[in-house]
């Protein structure tokens, strides 16, 4: 092995051995010792830091290996460094200074509060082994261009896998050319908002983070009234809208699908006005007591922009989402996104493509559907036994339920839960500030969030926080 190969071993370490006059001093060992002492004294090299092997540092500095070995030995004798067979040369602890830990002990991490916040899966159930297998296969087979500047549409492997999966599982009508990969459904919404401008109609109760994203994109929002059939179409006498944002498969947060008549009405509204419907299919894979509700996009691919993500079905740590776009919007969205992929890791895209193609995604969704249905049933049974006066709604699908509370008790219940170490979200949090308070007091309970090991304790705390009558 030549010296260039050897020079790659060990950690990099910046040391300035230049004398004050600007030339390399003949006393290299003395200067090296001085530079190392100063780096330790200043805190740039903290206790526990492993120094490069003497051969590596000598090659990096262009000096003799013996010079480095002698400098290390002198600093060990002075107590600045420690040397132990098999563990290399390290910076010694001085004056009560504790060595820097190589990992954070579990006891040092604050345990999170119990949580029934909506919007997250049970992250303890992430399929690590299957994901690692897909990552290994994807990286092994990845073409060289996967490691260069990315296509803003996303990796073709993922777009092909998504086109097949969305058609089969969600009734989406598309091909890979109409799919643009995003970092999340929220990122996709932001890109669409910039492309179509505003204002955009949104459901009167909906995710407040989406309203904030639209605001950040410079787009105003107009609330749509919600009733038992879902959102009502925009008022023809209102402002001219560029789009309408809906959660038609399972309205967030109130629950329930958009009525078939309303689905048709929104499609006709879009065709008549030239606007688009933005469909957020945030948890469409999870249904329990009803037949699957297909994507609204399947009715009108030229009028509906479909948004999806793996943040609910797999993990919010996998920053991959997608848009299925009407052809007239593709160029505009890509112009907003930029010339290159700056948002989504190519390796994550390739891994997800393999994960879908090999059936691992379907298997994971089916397994989680069974787990979440069991949790939903436990939630309903527990409330029936301990809080029968609390009515539970929106439970036929999705990852959350709405608990209707006695009038005037929502704020106090949220505060009481917080005092017991439980995070919950009140229903009014999701009401559009310009929309009517058309819903009773309530909690939006995300039963997918706690781990299985903590689910019973979390439900017990919830019951203690609820009003007694």
pLDDT tens digit string along 246-284?
999 888 998 888 999 999 999 999 999 999 999 999 877
Q: How far apart are CA 389 and CA 375, in angstroms?
A: 20
Task: Name which of 74, 79, 26 is nearest 54 in CA terms.
Answer: 74
For tokens 């996009």, what's the residue? Answer: 297
Q: DSSP secondary structure string, 57-102?
A: HHHHHTS-HHHHHHHHHHHHHHTSEEEETTTEEEEPP-TTPPPPPS
Q: How far apart are CA 152 and CA 325, in angstroms?
A: 14
- Average pLDDT (214-225) is 89
Most confident of 16-25, 65-74, 89-98: 65-74
The structure's pTM equals 0.79
- Average pLDDT (320-349) is 94
Q: How far apart are CA 161 and CA 281, in angstroms?
A: 18
3 state DSSP class of 199: coil
Range in 178-192, 224-238, 377-391, 405-419 with the lowest mean pLDDT:
224-238
Residue 26: per-residue pLDDT: 54
Number of H helices, E strands in the chain: 14, 17
Q: How far apart are CA 17 and CA 389, in angstroms?
A: 77
User: What is the 3 state secondary structure string of the chain?
Assistant: CCHHHHCCCCCCCCCCCECCCCCECCCHHHHHHHHHHHHHHCCCCCCCCECCCHHHHHHHHCCCHHHHHHHHHHHHHHCCEEEECCCEEEECCCCCCCCCCCCCCHHHCCCCCEECCCCCCCHHHCCHHHHHHHHHHHHHHCCHHHHCCCCCCCCHHHHHHHHHHHHHHHCCCCCHHHEEEECCHHHHHHHHHHHHCCCEEEECECCHHHHHHHHHCCCCEEEECEECCEECCCCCCCCCCCEEEECCCCCCCCCCCCCHHHHHHHHHHHHHHCCEEEEECCCCCCECCCCCCCCHHHHCCCCEEEEEECCCCCCCCCCCEEEECCHHHHHHHHHHHCCCCCCCCHHHHHHHHHHHHCCHHHHHHHHHHHHHHHHHHHHHHHHHHHCCCCEEECCCECCCEEEECCCCCHHHHHHHHHHCCEECEEHHHHECCCCCCCCCCEEEECCCCCCHHHHHHHHHHHHHHCCCC
Q: What is the separation, in whole angstroms, between the first and last Cα of the chain?
A: 79
- Average pLDDT (334-346) is 91
Residue 341: per-residue pLDDT: 86
Task: Name which of 257, 286, 279 is nearest 398 in CA terms.
Answer: 286
- The residue among 12 and 277 whose pLDDT is bigger is 277
Residue 264: per-residue pLDDT: 96
Most confident of 33-47, 151-165, 196-210: 151-165
- pLDDT at 159 exceeding the cut of 90: yes
Q: What is the DSSP letter of 150?
A: P
Confidence of residue 209 (pLDDT cuts 50, 70, 90): confident
Residue 276: per-residue pLDDT: 96
Residue 294: per-residue pLDDT: 86
Residue 77: per-residue pLDDT: 85
Confidence of residue 7 (pLDDT cuts 50, 70, 90): very low
| Cβ atoms of residues 325 and 159 within 8 Å | no
Rounded to the nearest integer, the mean pLDDT of the chain is 87
Counting residues of the chain whose pLDDT is more than 70, the rounded percentage is 91
Residue 321: per-residue pLDDT: 95
Residue 108: per-residue pLDDT: 44
Q: How far apart are CA 342 and CA 337, in angstroms?
A: 8
- Average pLDDT (7-22) is 61
Q: Is the dihedral of CA 296, 297, 303, 309 positive or negative?
A: positive
| CA dihedral of 285, 289, 290, 294, whole degrees rounded to 10 | -10
3 state DSSP class of 26: coil
- pLDDT at 154 exceeding the cut of 80: yes
Structure tokens at 68: 């480095």
Counting residues of the chain whose pLDDT is more than 90, the rounded percentage is 59
Confidence of residue 10 (pLDDT cuts 50, 70, 90): low
């Amino acid at each position: 092995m030549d010296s260039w190969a050897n020079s790659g071993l060990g950690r990099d370490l910046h040391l300035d051995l230049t004398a004050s006059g600007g030339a390399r001093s003949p006393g290299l060992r003395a200067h090296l010792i001085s530079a190392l002492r100063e780096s330790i004294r200043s805190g740039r090299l903290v206790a526990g830091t492993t120094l490069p092997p003497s051969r590596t540092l000598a090659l990096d500095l262009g000096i003799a290996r013996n010079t480095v070995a002698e400098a290390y030995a002198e600093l060990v004798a002075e107590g600045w460094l420690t040397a132990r067979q098999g563990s290399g040369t390290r910076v010694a602890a001085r004056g009560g200074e504790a060595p820097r830990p190589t990992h954070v002990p579990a006891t040092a991490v604050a345990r999170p509060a119990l949580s029934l916040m909506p919007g997250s899966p049970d992250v303890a159930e992430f399929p690590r082994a299957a994901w690692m297998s897909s990552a290994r296969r994807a990286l092994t087979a990845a073409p060289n261009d996967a490691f260069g500047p990315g296509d803003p549409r996303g990796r073709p492997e993922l777009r092909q896998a998504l086109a097949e999966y969305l058609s089969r599982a969600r009734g989406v009508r598309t091909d890979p050319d109409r799919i643009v990969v995003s970092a999340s459904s929220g990122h996709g919404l932001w890109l669409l908002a910039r492309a179509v401008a505003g204002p955009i109609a949104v459901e009167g109760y909906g995710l407040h983070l989406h309203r904030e994203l639209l605001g950040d994109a410079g787009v105003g929002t107009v609330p749509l009234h919600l009733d038992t059939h879902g959102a009502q179409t925009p008022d023809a006498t209102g402002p001219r809208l560029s789009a309408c944002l809906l959660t038609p498969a399972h309205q967030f947060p109130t629950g329930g699908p958009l009525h078939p008549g309303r689905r048709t009405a929104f499609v006709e509204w879009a065709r008549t006005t030239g606007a688009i419907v933005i469909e957020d299919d945030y948890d469409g894979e999870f249904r329990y007591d009803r037949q699957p509700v297909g994507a609204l996009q399947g009715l009108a691919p030229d009028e509906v922009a479909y948004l999806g993500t793996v943040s609910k079905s797999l993990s919010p740590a996998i920053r991959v989402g997608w848009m299925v776009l009407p052809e007239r919007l593709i160029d505009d969205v890509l112009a907003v996104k930029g010339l290159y992929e700056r948002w989504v890791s190519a390796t994550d895209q390739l891994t997800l493509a393999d994960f879908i193609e090999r059936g691992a995604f379907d298997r994971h969704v089916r397994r989680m559907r069974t787990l979440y249905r069991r949790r939903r049933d436990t939630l309903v049974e527990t409330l029936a036994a301990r809080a029968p006066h609390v009515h539970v709604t929106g439970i036929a699908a999705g990852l959350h339920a709405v608990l209707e509370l006695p009038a005037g008790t929502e704020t106090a219940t949220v505060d009481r839960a917080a005092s017991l170490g439980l995070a919950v979200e009140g229903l009014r949090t999701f009401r559009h500030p310009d929309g009517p308070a058309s819903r009773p007091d309530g909690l939006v309970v995300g039963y997918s969030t706690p781990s299985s090991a903590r689910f019973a304790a979390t439900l017990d705390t919830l019951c203690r926080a609820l009003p007694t009558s």
